[in-house]
Amino acid sequence: MSTDTPASAPAESAAERYLAVQRSDEFAGLRRALRGFVFPMTVAFFLWYALYVILSAYARGFMGAKLIGNINVALVFGLLQFVSTFVIAWLYSRFADRRIDPVADRIRAEIGEVTHEHGPRG
């Protein structure tokens, strides 16, 4: 138990504690959940944005095609980038509130006493 740890060696105990937490199943689950969301989402929005930039460079005919009045594909495609950004931000916020925060809070509470050893200067 942590209360048995000699006060003279708090640094080692903190390091061991973090290492133990990092190797725990609960933490591995948290990492997997976070990376499982943010990595694919990053790839997705990056490719979607890259597609927009590449079409702007190489598909001028397509981008210039008029849809309604003077509103062309380029403008709509650009506005869709706004929509996708807002949607992804909203999805992430919902995901983090539900799937990340509760687990992170639980793990933080479990290692709560370690944090005090950092003191105000940390």
Partner 1 sequence: MNTVLAAEAGSTTARNLTITLFLIFVAITLAITVWASRQTKTATDFYAGGRSFSGFQNGMAIGGDYMSAASFLGIAGIIALYGYDGFLYSIGFLVAWLVALLLVAELLRNSGRYTMADVLAFRMRQRPVRTAAAVSTITVSIFYLLAQMVGAGALVALLLGIKPGTTFLGMDAGTAKVATIIMVGALMIIYVTVGGMKGTTYVQIVKAFLLMTGAIVMTLLVLAKYKFNLSSLLGDAASASGKGSAFLEPGLRYGVEAPGDALKTFYSKMDLLSLGIALVLGTAGLPHILIRFYTVPTAKAARKSVLWAIGIIGTFYLLTLALGFGAAALVGGQAITAQDKAGNTAAPQLAEALGRDFFGGSLGGATLLAIIAAVAFATILAVVAGLTLASSSSLAHDFYANVIKRGDASERQEVTVARVSALVIGAIAIALSIYAQSLNVAFLVALAFAVAASGNLPAILYSLFWKRFNTSGAVWAIYGGLLAAVVLVFFSPVVSGAPTAMFPKHDWHWFPLSNPGLISIPFGFLCGWIGTVLSKEHDEDKYAELEVRALTGAGAH
Of 36, 49, 76, 102, the one binding partner 1 by CB under 8 A = 49
Q: How far apart are CA 5 and CA 19, in angstroms?
A: 16
In which residue are the tokens 């890259």 written? 50
The 71-100 contact track toward partner 1, x by CB under 8 A, reads xx-xx--xx-xx--xx-xxx-xx--x----
74 touches 64 (CB < 8 A): yes
CB of 117 to partner 1, least distance (A): 9
Residue 31 to residues 18, 28, 109, Cα–Cα distance (Å): 14, 5, 17
102 binds partner 1 (CB under 8 A): no
64 binds partner 1 (CB under 8 A): yes
69 binds partner 1 (CB under 8 A): yes
CB of 46 to partner 1, least distance (A): 7
Q: Where are the alpha helices (DSSP H) in 24-117?
A: 25-58, 60-64, 73-95, 101-110, 112-116
| 64 torsion bin: left (phi>0), alpha (psi -120 to 50), beta (else) | alpha
The Cβ of residue 58 has, within 10 Å, a number of other Cβ atoms equal to 10
Binding residues (CB under 8 A) for partner 1: these are 14-15, 18-19, 21-23, 27, 30-31, 34-35, 37-38, 41-42, 45-46, 49-50, 52-54, 56-58, 60, 63-64, 66, 68-72, 74-75, 78-79, 81-82, 85-86, 88-90, 92-93, 96, 101, 104-105, 107-108, 111-112, 114-115, 118, 122
